Amino acid sequence: MCGGFRAADAGTRVRLGGWIHRSRDLGGLLFLDLRDRSGLVQISFDPRWAAPEAIASASSAGAESVVLIEGEVALRPPEGRNPEMPTGEVEVRATSISVVGPAETPAIPVSLGKGEKLASEELRLRYRHLDLRRPELRDNMILRHELYQATRRYLDEHGFLEIETPILTKPTPEGARDYLVPSRVHKGEFYALPQSPQIYKQLLMVAGFDRYFQIARCFRDEDLRADRQPEFTQIDIEASFIEPEDVYRLTEGLIAALFRVAGLSVPETFNRMTYADAMETYGCDRPDLRYDLKIFDATEMVRAAEFGITRSAIEAGGRVRGLRIPGGASFSRKQVDELEAIAKSAGVAGLLRTKRLSGALDGPLAKHLPAGAADSLAIAEGDLCLLAAAPDATANPALDRVRQEVASRLGLAGGANSFVWITDFPLFIRDGASGALGSVHHPFTSPHRDDLARMEQDPENVRALAYDLVLNGTELGGGSIRISDPRVQSRVFSALGISESDAQERFGFLLEGLRSGAPPHGGIAFGFDRIAMMLAGAQSLRDVIAFPKTTAARALFEGAPSAVADADLAELHIRSAN
């Protein structure tokens, strides 16, 4: 392998295959950098050891052509060594070369020449076979492979069985849109690609496979982002007779094993935070805890103030909460306006601003505050304080975004990785528009035992046995203890407004399973691609997936999706609307 040669290999006769990465023709003397998946090595052609025909052949071979080289590994002359290259001590003195895979001039550069920049992402995706040759993407794929292996090794060692579940499954009316697959045999009927193997893994528990895992491909037909692909990979885990604590302990070990692959260490155990605390203190359920910047409540301090904005917000049932920004008093008017614009785009009417200079607070609100307000609100000299007077439902996302923007401006997010388990999610969430209850996680999530009694009267305050693992503001994975008691499952369906017959039609095979002797069970799923992206230091999921889709869910290399012939549709009992 090209990248592995060292000084100790000098004298070895070798036969090497690889791609011409770059060549330097000095006239009578010629150098090639030969590349394979292991790296680069310099091949030298000199009349002292290479026949004239070999030199001519090497000289005319184009970049990215595949060649076979015969020669001998030799130490380079001392002045010709290259400390920048792992193989820089040596070169292969070629005696023959044969061009076995001539290449046309590459459509996009693989090795970047003088002043050259990376081709646009559109072209990189169209010519993916070339882009994947670049060392950066090659290394990402190798890292990904090692993450697969570490996952399998760790879970195998902990007694988990790898079991595959179907790709052709049943459409689910809830959740994300399904990718549908028409049935040829059954006119007018459809399979769906799985959004996750959720129900199958629960049935595997019912079947007695008490520890299951799968590196599972999942499909969701929703709009994309830099960190969202329509098909993606999860590390899917489920086990019987376990509690949340068991899941935490098991998967902290798994995450440690995965981070070790990238040479990173992680804490022995991860911090915990309840959903309620996360929302109260950070305004979101996946806080970035690399920096402090906590949201605080100033409602009591301003309650008595004769100030219209805060007064009406409080009377309407809202609160006044905000952020103290250390040193923020030096922000320009324009900078603060930008922060306010971010908050407004998240739904609040505006931000109240006050800063502490020379001991006192300024701003329109300040004169309505009691003496000593700055101290009791812990606003320090030089701080800027931004307040949102609104119901939590709008203030939380607004303050969350302002918090992130401030952290990015002040460069606060550079510290050590910060893992945190978010626990005690609510079981239900009420849809603002329709007023209907929906599942926060999914309808099979177990309510907290202590909250079972209030399921019917006070469903919005029922906690779920659900948890997410968050790293630096990104959700790495999430899961729950599932419902294993069919009576509890019925009550949850009923709270969700799913009738007995609906439930039977949609999830009948799971309900039958629960009635036939179901162990208590639960699990978790991790976003494999996101973990790979983080560990690779990549900016986009597309850089850790061999053949990704564009933001419009197209595959540019193969041209999918594409139209099909009417005859093919007819066989599937389908007609295009166009």
State the greatest distance between any 2 C-alpha atoms of the chain, in Å, as a whole number.
Answer: 95
Q: Which of 63, 235, 352, 536 binds RNA (CB under 7 A)?
A: 63
For the chain, count helices (H), then strands (E).
16, 22
Q: Which amino acid is at 302?
A: V
> Which residues from 233-292 bind RNA, rule CB under 7 A?
none
Binding to RNA by residue 175, rule CB under 7 A?
A: yes
Question: Given the complex with RNA, which of 176 and 215 has the nearer CB atom?
Answer: 176
- Residue 365 CA to residue 368 CA, distance in Å, equals 6
Does 517 bind RNA (CB under 7 A)? Our answer is: no
Residue 85 in the binding site for RNA (CB under 7 A): yes
Q: What is the DSSP letter of 106?
A: P
Interface pick for RNA out of 157, 162, 189, 222 (rule CB under 7 A)? 222
Which range of residues in 94-102, 192-200, 300-308, 318-326 is near RNA by CB under 7 A? 192-200
User: Least distance to RNA from the beta carbon of 131, Å?
Assistant: 11
If binding is defined by CB under 7 A, does position 370 make contact with RNA? no
Piece of the chain touching RNA by CB under 7 A; list 105-113, 163-171, 316-324, 564-572:
105-113
Is residue 338 part of the contact set for RNA (CB under 7 A)? no
Interacting positions 122-161 with RNA (CB under 7 A)? 122-123, 125
**Closer of 177 and 311 to RNA (Cβ):** 177
Cβ distance to RNA smaller for residue 281 or 394 = 394
x-marked contacts with RNA along 22-51 as a string, rule CB under 7 A: x-xxxxxx-x-x--------x-x-xx----
Beta strand segments in 122-199, E: 161-162, 180-182, 190-192
Among the residues of 365-420, which ranges form H helices? 373-376, 392-410
Beta-sheet strand order (sheet of 419-423): 161-162, 211-219, 231-240, 521-527, 474-481, 466-471, 419-423, 271-274
For RNA, the binding residues in 427-466 under the rule CB under 7 A are 438-443
Piece of 3-11, 119-127, 141-149, 330-338 that binds RNA (CB under 7 A) = 119-127
Nearest Cα to Cα of residue 489 among 234, 243, 206, 285: 206
Pick between residue 354 and residue 396 the one whose CB is nearest to RNA: 396
Q: With binding defined as CB under 7 A, does residue 115 bind RNA? A: yes
- Single out the segment in contact with RNA by CB under 7 A; choices: 109-117, 184-192, 256-264, 313-321: 109-117
CB of 60 to RNA, least distance (A): 7
| Residue labelled with tokens 């994947």 | 132
Q: Give me 139's structure tokens.
A: 């290394």
CA angle 327-330-335, nearest 5°?
Answer: 110
Per CB under 7 A, the list member of 35, 76, 482, 521 interacting with RNA is 76
CA dist., res. 578 & res. 197, Å (int): 34
Quote the CA–CA distance of 63 and 19 in Å, as a whole number.
Answer: 8
Q: Answer yes or no whether residue 554 interacts with RNA by CB under 7 A.
A: yes
Backbone angles phi, psi at 496, to 5 degrees: -85, -5
For RNA, the binding residue among 36, 91, 451, 529 (CB under 7 A) is 91
Smallest distance from the beta carbon of 300 to RNA, in angstroms?
Answer: 30
Q: E strands along 391-504, which residues?
A: 419-423, 428-430, 437-439, 466-471, 474-481
Peptide bond into 486 cis (omega under 30): no
Q: Tell me how far, at minimum, the Cβ of 519 lies from RNA, in Å.
A: 20
Q: Which is nearer to RNA, 113 or 372 (CB)?
A: 113
Sequence-distant (6+) residues with CB within 8 A of 413 are: 288, 290, 291, 407, 472, 473
* Binding of residue 207 to RNA (CB under 7 A): no
Q: For residue 163, give both structure tokens.
A: 């079991």
At 396, list the tokens.
Answer: 């939380």
Quote the DSSP letter at residue 322: E
| Shortest Å distance, C-beta 28 to RNA | 3
- Binding RNA (rule: CB under 7 A), the pick from 469, 542, 544, 545 is 542
Angle at 188 between CA 187 and CA 190, to 5 degrees: 105
Residue 418 in contact with RNA, rule: CB under 7 A: no
Q: How many residues bind RNA (CB under 7 A)?
A: 71
Picking from 163, 146, 149, 145, the residue whose alpha carbon sits closest to that of residue 523 is 163
- CB of 556: closest distance to RNA in angstroms? 6
Q: Could you identify the residue written with the tokens 């590196």?
A: 215
CB 314 within 8 A of CB 306: no
**Which residue stretch of 85-93, 142-150, 204-212, 358-366 sits at the interface with RNA (rule: CB under 7 A)?**
85-93
Window contacting RNA (CB under 7 A); options: 5-13, 81-89, 280-288, 350-358: 81-89
With contacts defined by CB under 7 A, name the span among 9-17, 163-171, 216-224, 238-246 that binds RNA: 216-224
Residue 379 found at the interface with RNA (CB under 7 A): no
